């Protein structure tokens, strides 16, 4: 059985040693600053885009040489064609074509519409500063001219203005997707993007933390073997306690670096409205998304799967690291585990576009890869309850097996100092089991 008092002492030693490192504190500070900027990005986007958005007004000068009914040349004739709700049109009547061209040239108005009559038909000239017929305003004036021409012809037939207005009244129009359930609002689209980013970022962080801190476990074991400190520690604790204490201590060290980052994201996400007001933004200018809820819920899943994943791989890192005696041999020794983790990472990348696909489902259940695919499935996908239970249960079983294997590797690797043990020796040295008790 484990001696938890010894395990706590060993874990506390690992924590003190790692936290005292200057590189640890600097990296934590840098990561918190970067994450804070990322958490503030929705507010910054709203701030910079709000300066460019808002209703605009474009001035149009109309010169009428055709004695068209003035009602046909007012804003109503143009606004009926304007689909951009943020743009309004100020239509004024000009005196001459020369004055209108000069006003466009000097920038006093954005465009001019010259109306002439040939026989019974109207003729139009659109004047813009660039003369580009493909510009949005030019296309609007061309469409408006067609409406004015048709309205003029109808009036010549003797219909009343009310009849003309009824003829051109826009019909009820609704735009829907082929699947009504697929229709999403802008806020929903942004929420999907946020979930995607959170899931992808969490996958990267889990992968990096498991690899980096797993290497710490292996390198720490090798360092203790090389300095012969482990021989002294074995007089006070069993190899099993040393293994558990080292893995737990470094895992807590990793969590101590992650928790400030997670808290930064959660707090900034929860205070989007208050922080936005400091930037001069009101609530309507911010995305109608509860970033705080997304951050806090994601944090819970992250902590769960990171803890399970690190217990699984951390134990194996410690066991494999105990089998070598030099730092140069660590990378080669842990290569099989790195390969499994890379498979999980690439499975996560393949699942980005389809978090409910076959690859995501299978890799989410398999313990070796579920750690890296879990956040994509949980945040961006729709896993069934039994998939979550099977994934967590599989990890717990894998952790127990990994601990048993790692304890055997650790015990043999420690006792056979300076002699790289063979695989047959690892499972044959029954007499060493008493040392672990």
**What pLDDT sits at residue 430?**
47
State whether 359 and 340 are in the same domain.
Answer: yes
Residues 163-178: what's their mean pLDDT? 63
**In a shared domain, residues 358 and 319:** yes
pLDDT digits (tens, 9 = 90+) for 397-417: 999 888 888 877 777 766 555
State the Cα–Cα distance between residues 270 and 404, nearest whole angstrom: 43
Task: Assess if residue 67 is contained within a domain.
Answer: yes
Which has the closest alpha carbon to 251: 4, 8, 10, 11?
Answer: 11
Query: What is d(CA 333, CA 339) in angstroms, rounded to the nearest whole number?
Result: 12
> Rounded to whole angstroms, what are the CA distances from 339 to 26, 286, 334, 342?
30, 43, 9, 5
Give residue 391's pLDDT.
93
Range of weakest confidence among 52-66, 139-153, 195-209, 222-236: 222-236
Q: Is residue 68 a part of any domain in this protein?
A: yes
Domain boundary residue, one of 173, 201, 233: 173
Say yes or no: 148 and 40 in one domain.
no
Mean pLDDT check: name the lowest of 1-10, 88-97, 290-299.
Answer: 290-299
Within this chain, do residues 390 and 311 fall inside the same structural domain, yes or no? yes
Encoding tokens for residue 7?
């395990």
Do 283 and 54 meet the contact criterion of CB atoms below 8 Å apart? no
The stretch 366-370 carries a mean pLDDT of 90
Domain coverage including residue 321: 4-47+186-436
Q: Which of 115-124, 161-170, 318-327, 375-384 has the highest mean pLDDT?
A: 375-384
Task: Judge if 232 and 151 occupy the same domain.
Answer: no
Place of tokens 């299978």: 362
Q: Is the pLDDT of residue 174 over 90?
A: no
Statement to judge: residues 277 and 198 lie in one domain: yes
CA 179 to each of CA 27, 160, 183, 293, 372: distance values in angstroms, whole numbers, following the listed order: 48, 43, 7, 28, 32
Residue 178 lies in a domain: no
Same domain, 63 and 14: no
Q: What is the pLDDT of residue 424?
A: 55
**Cα–Cα dist 288/298, whole Å:** 19
pLDDT per residue as tens digits for the range 268-295: 877 877 887 887 777 666 666 666 666 6
Domain count within the chain: 2
Question: Residue 180 domain-assigned?
Answer: no
Do 281 and 144 share a structural domain? no
Model confidence at 436: pLDDT above 50:
no
Mean of the pLDDT values across residues 82-91?
A: 63
Burial of residue 367 (number of CB atoms within 10 Å: 0-12, 13-18, 19+): buried
Is residue 35, in this structure, part of any structural domain at all?
yes
User: The domain spanning residue 104 has which CATH number?
Assistant: 3.40.190.10
- 92, pLDDT greater than 60: yes
Cα 388 to the center of its chain, rounded Å? 22
Res. 435: pLDDT tops 50: no
CB 416 within 8 A of CB 425: yes
Residue where a domain terminates, one of 145, 173, 201? 173
* Residue 76 binned pLDDT confidence (cut-offs 50, 70, 90): very low
Q: Which residues of 278-305 are buried (b: 16+ CB within 10 A; e: fewer)?
A: eeebeeeebbebebbebbbebbebbeeb
Q: Please check whether residue 329 lies inside any domain of the structure.
A: yes
Number of other CB atoms surrounding residue 337 within 10 Å: 19
Are 156 and 296 members of one domain?
no
Q: Do 221 and 304 lie in a common domain?
A: yes
Span 156-183, mean pLDDT? 62
Q: Tell whether 158 is covered by a domain.
A: yes
**Do 336 and 241 share a domain, yes or no?**
yes
- Give bridge partners of residue 39 from the DSSP assignment: none
Q: 173, 201, 222: which is the final residue of a domain?
A: 173
- Mark whether 285 and 395 lie in a shared domain: yes
Note the pLDDT tens digit of each residue in 207-263: 888 888 888 888 877 777 766 666 666 666 777 778 788 888 888 888 888 888 878
328 found inside a domain: yes
- How far apart CA 266 and CA 280 sit, in angstroms, is 22
């Amino acid at each position: 059985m484990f001696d938890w008092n010894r395990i706590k002492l060993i874990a506390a030693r690992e924590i003190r040693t790692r936290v005292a490192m200057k590189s640890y504190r600097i990296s934590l500070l840098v990561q918190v600053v970067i994450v804070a900027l990322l958490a503030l990005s929705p507010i910054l986007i709203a701030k910079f885009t709000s300066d460019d958005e808002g209703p605009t007004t474009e001035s149009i000068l109309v010169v009428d040489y055709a004695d068209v009914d003035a009602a046909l040349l007012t804003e109503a004739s143009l606004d009926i064609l304007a689909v951009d709700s943020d743009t309004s049109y100020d239509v004024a009547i000009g005196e001459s074509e020369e004055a209108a061209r000069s006003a466009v040239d000097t920038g006093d108005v954005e465009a001019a519409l010259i109306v002439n009559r040939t026989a019974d038909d109207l003729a139009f000239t659109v004047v813009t500063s660039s003369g580009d017929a493909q510009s949005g305003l030019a296309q609007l004036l061309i469409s408006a001219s067609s409406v004015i021409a048709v309205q003029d012809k109808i009036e010549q037939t003797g219909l009343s203005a009310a009849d003309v207005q009824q003829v051109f009244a826009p019909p009820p129009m609704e735009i829907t997707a082929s699947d009504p359930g697929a229709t999403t609002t802008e806020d929903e689209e942004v929420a999907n993007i946020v979930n995607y980013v959170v899931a992808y970022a969490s996958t990267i962080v889990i992968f990096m933390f498991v690899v980096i801190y797993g290497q710490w476990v292996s390198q720490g074991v090798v360092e203790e073997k090389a300095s012969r400190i482990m021989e002294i520690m074995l007089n006070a604790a069993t190899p099993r306690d040393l293994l558990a204490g080292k893995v737990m201590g470094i895992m807590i060290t990793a969590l101590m670096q992650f928790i400030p980052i997670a808290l930064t994201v959660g707090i900034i996400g929860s205070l989007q409205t208050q922080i936005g007001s400091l930037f001069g933004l009101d609530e309507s200018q911010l995305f109608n998304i509860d970033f705080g809820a997304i951050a806090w819920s994601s944090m819970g899943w992250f902590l769960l799967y990171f803890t399970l994943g690190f217990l699984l791989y951390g134990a194996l890192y410690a066991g494999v690291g105990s089998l070598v005696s030099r730092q140069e041999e660590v990378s080669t020794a842990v290569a099989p585990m790195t390969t499994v983790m890379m498979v999980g990472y690439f499975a996560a990348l393949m699942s980005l576009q389809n978090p409910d696909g076959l690859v995501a489902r299978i890799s989410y259940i398999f313990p070796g890869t579920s750690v890296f695919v879990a956040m994509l499935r949980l945040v961006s996908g729709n896993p069934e309850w039994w998939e979550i239970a099977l994934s967590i249960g599989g990890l717990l079983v894998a952790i127990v097996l990994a601990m048993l294997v790692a304890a055997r590797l650790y015990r043999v690797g420690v006792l056979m100092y300076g002699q790289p043990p063979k695989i047959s020796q690892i499972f044959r040295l029954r007499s060493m089991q008493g040392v672990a008790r």
